[in-house]
Structure 1
């Protein structure tokens, strides 16, 4: 049992301890109580632990929203101040350190103060309390030898994190984080990691190149992974081949089954009007499919040809390339937890071996900074006579102490690789080499995602460091942070820091560092000399960063290695003007709640120079949550007199992961959509669109040009 429930000693109520998340909180009552175990089935939603107590009130020490459902699960109301007549109710309180559900037979009232939320029953009675771990932290670590057959046993336990095998596991809050995996001499499983008998088997040859691509399937279907010659999936009475085109077939299974689970779950706890349910042209009995066991349901899903479903599928968010190397086994739970499409390329194209096409800026035969940078500047935006780049390539083109023509674009030991293109929004790379156009994912950064520390302040700290006077135009980027009403930012701008001052900055608890200046193989330029993060013994507490300088990959990689979660870096020399523009775009996107990977994806839509940048570390890193919780990009085009066509791209982000529900606050569209999605609405009146844009600070591509909702004036 991951959750313990005990009576309070110095007050009336209970204390709830979640051993997975290492959280503890108190629930207060109006009298002493002795919790007694009750079946988890007493509650409408899945729970990990259930007790009953006798009380006249329930109070938690935080402000929350109380959601009330009838005995059959029908949603009746939600809010923080209301009354309900006599009846049988299922009540949810959110947020709380665990999911918290109540069930009782009585009328009641809900009230809140600035610190508490309270439910008072009309008459004291029995109240059932159910708790479910939010399970964003792994339940434990599986130790395993790293040969493929032993590793199959570990991968077979990734699905132990699922809170349910129903279609509702397509909601991110019902999946949980898979247990971690680490190499060891013997196979050992911690007590809290318990297998789920889903009835699904995945049969693959015992080779890394076959095992790695099925880790997301093993997790999502709680499947047993076993060795065999012919790659396939099996259930009771059915077999689905994973050849020919093994990696493509695994991706199809994930996308198709997840999509169909999102449709089937509308027959369960959340009977919402789902747009994808209405537009998917399949003659299926979704109610019957919802009630089937997981393996049987999956078999019927896969009876539907992929070609019949593909036109309805959204663009998937993430593809991760994991090189077939035993050294990458510890990354598998993180990759699976993101429901990433996984490929395991045995070979990869070194950049030096592709004839030099398109890679001159990465240190090809001609390393002239002027020529290198012009390749990446959009048409009409080439270097002027007084343009300069942000690194040390030649004295004529570069500002900085002792710039030397001998310094190439990238240190010689850096090996660039060109992964195969992907069809997803985001792309991550696990393995040796620096990938072009992909997130260089690292294990230490992913582990920092799991570190939960007490938040000492609610304000988000952003530090802009400008270490070159000629780049102070971008220093105005600080004005682009802190514009949102819902989040408080502490903004600081500092200029021309010395080496010691820069060391102090990196050791400070800064949520986001935006560095503007020069970088070369000596390190980050400071007012007095250079600070080389790869050589120095530094304390790093900066959470996320943008190193908007030439050739900043190695310095950014060092930041991640020593303590940061992730950041955006450059692979080449970058011209100052487009670098300034990109820096401002990234600043506003991070301020609007985007994660690093999605922010760079959006920036690349606006600037071709964005392809000189990649993400290092955990590409899912955010510095704040968007007001709506989900990262959204609008596209607007004029349709006619005072009407517009609108497209909206919804990206998974933070706690609102793949499978979350989303909708647009427009009178003409009331359907829900599941994330990720792109929805389009035609002929939106200007007034309605203006009201929508006023709700949140959002990036908008207006007639294919990136603007911001707070600066967009519609005709």
Structure 2
């Protein structure tokens, strides 16, 4: 079973461990409990595990919304302050690390404090608790020839994963993972994979560069994809052109239709106050659209000019460049499942070689005396006073990799560096050959590891910090930044000066997150007795995620991905100790707060220009735990007269993907928002802001600098 439910040892209540998602949380009760297995069919919504306990109250250690339904599933109430009379009820608790449902017969009340949500029954009764992992699995694998026309028929089946064609499919839990695709001589679709008849058809020329950008649309619209001379979307007597730029137009259709679905779904099972509905410039009959078939609804959406509603659209989270090559077809279901905007560049711009054999902004000319040079984001360089930190051209005493006999850059000499076109999204991934500057180098191996569901032996999350250089002991203190949260338990170990044999043992140890501090060059990772080259050695790798905070660690990190890791952060150049240590601490704390690798690096880059020397390899969506809020949150605050202007940026994260609904816990704020919309609120008092920031430890940008909420309080 993927979910274990056990009594707490030191308090009345339950501990719930989801071995698939590496999450653990606690529920507190008013008395000691002895959970009895119960039928999963007792719950209105599907669950993976169910137990019954006799209690008078239950407390969830987070601010949650309680959704109350009658025995037939009708929505009766939704909120965090409720009182219901005697009756038979199904309750849903959101957010929680798993889907959490309660079933009981009793009147009850719901009340919240600054950190908890408490449900009190009128009298003690049997309460059945159901839990469902938020992990999603594809229904099967489609085998197909990789030529564009037969591939279109395979792509047409991706929408079979949708659990509904209503606007509610904008919720991530109702989309499902698309079926996998693998090359084969003939098209073979398993019987259980069946595309719903959505009435939507996508016509594109039979070429990879035209097909790949519409793959997320084929999935989200459950559309049939067919060859034709002019790219367009058709359905229910209407046609919408994707010419002359299929990539741009497909991205616009995805953003616009998803935005409108989030608004239309407020007419269904979740009639909430949604911010996006209140500010939209589109004058549409949302109630009628909710009831309309998908094709008719989409046609009405696309009658609204994109330029009219573009200003209200949130910045999309992810763009993925998928090179137009048949070798990349197996990555398409994963890219579609993320609802990424897709581009398919036929050519890749090589990164320019700089003085000294460096790559663009990754290496600078020899600095003037008294300065350090750090890379600019646009390919140039800038000199700054030495006390600001930065990256020096040569490997001096402040650079990681001091004792290497090789020429700088030797470890990456064989890599083909490319400079992808800039993106307008927050994050950027690259699927194909080459090492992309400032983008996530995604690989099929890492994507596939998302789906691995083997049961782990331990319920605690393991973090190992390895420091193999005496001068870098300060970064070993990052271990203090892990394990600070009461919702997730960490096993943290710090080890120094490992030998090659000991490093082998570490790499095979099954640790959830490896934070390596030391030296890397073309010989491999430095150990006390020699270098361990991960690209040549026959190693067993069982490390889920990693940060190799060392000079030029790309090739060693890529080797970890090929041998079993899911994702990691690596460097493309020499990195100076001071900024590298600062970035390591930032990433450590963000990972501890539930951020995925790609978003963690994005936040670090806001604080450190030297962050552009790092990229994510493998699956950038990799996390080691879930945040208390489910989604990853970054807060920006600025003075607003005697009050504050507050912006909460929400990023999709694990099962809390694009379309997840959230609401800032601020008195007087009732609007809900759909990820990735930012919540911007003015006139927030210091008291309101302090109350919010003490709910959990959050990254906060104040005066343009990164702080942590527990360090800022009180404001």
**1:52-63 → structure 2 map (5 Å cutoff):** 59=52
Alpha-carbon shift at residue 362 of structure 1 (Å) = 4.5
C-alpha separation between the residues in 2 aligned to 1:96 and 1:485?
Answer: 14
**1:293-372 → structure 2 map (5 Å cutoff):** 293-352=293-352, 359-360=359-360, 362=362
C-alpha separation between the residues in 2 aligned to 1:255 and 1:373?
Answer: 42
Distance 1:48 1:207, change over 3 A: farther
1:351 partner SS? coil
Higher RCO, 1 vs 2 (CA within 8 Å, ≥6 residues apart):
2
**1:87-236 → structure 2 map (5 Å cutoff):** 136-236=136-236
Distance 1:449 1:418, change over 3 A: same
Instruction: State the match for 1:690 in structure 2.
Output: 690
Alpha-carbon shift at residue 250 of structure 1 (Å) = 0.2
Instruction: State the match for 2:38 in structure 1.
Output: 28
C-alpha separation between the residues in 2 aligned to 1:131 and 1:165?
Answer: 25
C-alpha separation between the residues in 2 aligned to 1:488 and 1:504?
Answer: 23
Counterpart contact for 2:157–2:194, Cα < 8 Å: yes
2:466 partner SS? strand
2:604 partner SS? helix
Counterpart contact for 2:566–2:618, Cα < 8 Å: yes
**Deviation larger for 591-600 or 447-456:** 447-456
Counterpart contact for 2:399–2:576, Cα < 8 Å: no
Alpha-carbon shift at residue 309 of structure 1 (Å) = 1.1
**Deviation larger for 328-337 or 271-280:** 271-280
1:635 partner SS? strand
Alpha-carbon shift at residue 406 of structure 1 (Å) = 2.9
Per-residue Cα deviation, 1:93-124 (whole angstroms, up to 9, x for no partner) = 889999798999x878899xxxxx99999999
Per-residue Cα deviation, 1:54-102 (whole angstroms, up to 9, x for no partner) = xxx9848999988531457233368999985347x66558899997989
Does 2:456 align with 1:446? no
**1:364-403 → structure 2 map (5 Å cutoff):** 374-376=373-375, 383=386, 394=395, 403=404
Counterpart contact for 2:370–2:385, Cα < 8 Å: no
Counterpart contact for 2:200–2:233, Cα < 8 Å: yes
**1:513-528 → structure 2 map (5 Å cutoff):** 513-528=514-529
Alpha-carbon shift at residue 236 of structure 1 (Å) = 1.3
**1:484-633 → structure 2 map (5 Å cutoff):** 484-633=485-634
**Deviation larger for 395-404 or 94-103:** 94-103
2:424 partner SS? coil
C-alpha separation between the residues in 2 aligned to 1:211 and 1:135?
Answer: 28
1:349 partner SS? coil
2:328 partner SS? helix
Alpha-carbon shift at residue 226 of structure 1 (Å) = 0.4
Per-residue Cα deviation, 1:261-291 (whole angstroms, up to 9, x for no partner) = 0000000000011011111122111000000
Alpha-carbon shift at residue 546 of structure 1 (Å) = 0.6
Counterpart contact for 2:553–2:572, Cα < 8 Å: yes
**Deviation larger for 320-329 or 499-508:** 499-508
Counterpart contact for 1:361–1:372, Cα < 8 Å: no
C-alpha separation between the residues in 2 aligned to 1:86 and 1:401?
Answer: 71
Instruction: State the match for 1:466 in structure 2.
Output: 467
C-alpha separation between the residues in 2 aligned to 1:574 and 1:632?
Answer: 28
Instruction: State the match for 1:430 in structure 2.
Output: 431
Per-residue Cα deviation, 1:9-64 (whole angstroms, up to 9, x for no partner) = xxxxxxxxxxx99xxx99636xxx9x99xxxxxx987x799xxxxxxx98489999
Normalising by structure 1, report the TM-score: 0.84
Counterpart contact for 2:330–2:444, Cα < 8 Å: yes
C-alpha separation between the residues in 2 aligned to 1:133 and 1:298?
Answer: 31
1:445 partner SS? helix
Counterpart contact for 1:430–1:441, Cα < 8 Å: yes
1:585 partner SS? helix
Normalising by structure 2, report the TM-score: 0.84
C-alpha separation between the residues in 2 aligned to 1:440 and 1:91?
Answer: 42
1:352 partner SS? coil
**Deviation larger for 670-679 or 68-77:** 68-77
C-alpha separation between the residues in 2 aligned to 1:241 and 1:356?
Answer: 49
Number of residues of Structure 1 aligned to a counterpart in Structure 2: 661
Distance 1:538 1:149, change over 3 A: same
C-alpha separation between the residues in 2 aligned to 1:344 and 1:520?
Answer: 33
Q: Which runs of 5+ in 2 are unaligned?
A: 1-19, 22-34, 61-65, 111-118
C-alpha separation between the residues in 2 aligned to 1:182 and 1:60?
Answer: 46
**Deviation larger for 258-267 or 453-462:** 453-462
Alpha-carbon shift at residue 488 of structure 1 (Å) = 1.4
Alpha-carbon shift at residue 311 of structure 1 (Å) = 0.8
Distance 1:325 1:371, change over 3 A: farther
Alpha-carbon shift at residue 357 of structure 1 (Å) = 12
Counterpart contact for 2:199–2:294, Cα < 8 Å: yes
Counterpart contact for 2:178–2:337, Cα < 8 Å: yes
Distance 1:483 1:107, change over 3 A: closer
Q: Which runs of 5+ in 1 are unaligned?
A: 1-19, 37-42, 50-56, 112-116
